[in-house]
Amino acid sequence: GELLTHHREFRSNHILSRIAAIPCSPPSVELTCTGSLWAVSKETGQQVNIDSWYGEVHYMVKEEGLWRVRGHRGEAPKTQGFGVAPHPFF
């Protein structure tokens, strides 16, 4: 809630530099991602950088016809609890 209290108009960019299929069931992929998250400060009205990342490898699984982020390489849980995001900004 702290981010939403102090910021508005969130924007992000994601540049995918590599997509690698993982031979398993259900279908899975690793996405190498570089990007950033920006928002407007409610206090100053200025655009501020909230987070940025370089070369992060996201682990995705196809479930019920939809691709879902399930963590990062080496940390992929089989399921996520209700309301739990694998990254604090997803």
User: pLDDT tens, 25-74?
Assistant: 899 999 999 999 999 999 999 999 999 999 999 999 999 999 998 887 65
Number of domains in the chain: 1
In a domain, 56, yes or no: yes
Q: In this structure, is residue 36 part of a structural domain?
A: yes
Asked whether residue 6 is domain-assigned, the answer is: yes
Quick check: is 84 in a domain?
Answer: no
Write the pLDDT tens digit of every residue in 28-41.
999 999 999 999 99
Q: What pTM did the predictor assign?
A: 0.63
> What's the domain range around 13?
2-72
Whole-Å CA distances, 66 to 14, 28, 60, 63, 75: 19, 11, 10, 5, 20
Residue 76 is which amino acid? A
